[in-house]
Amino acid sequence: MPSLGIPELLLIFGILVLLFGAKKLPEIGRGLGEGIRSFKTAFSGDDKKEEEKVVKAKEIEAEVVKKEEIKDKT
């Protein structure tokens, strides 16, 4: 089976943009990243520390989103 090169990856990315839209792709990536992260922490048994980091990251992200929304309104 041949490996994926740059043209193939660009084609896949283009199809994803057409299917989901440019605004939805970061949300999908973030969701996949959180899922993989939670799987790794559950597998290693290091749940509490990672959960605290995730909660803090989500709080910071919410603040950034609020600031961006305020900025976009002005």
Average pLDDT for runs of 10 along the chain of length 74:
85 89 86 88 69 82 83 72
Q: For residue 53, which of 34, 72, 29, 28 has the smallest C-alpha distance?
A: 34
Domain ranges of the chain: 6-73
Residue 49: its pLDDT value, please?
A: 67
Residue 58: its pLDDT value, please?
A: 86
Residue 15: its pLDDT value, please?
A: 92
Pairwise CA distance, residues 26 & 65, whole Å: 13
Residue 72: its pLDDT value, please?
A: 76
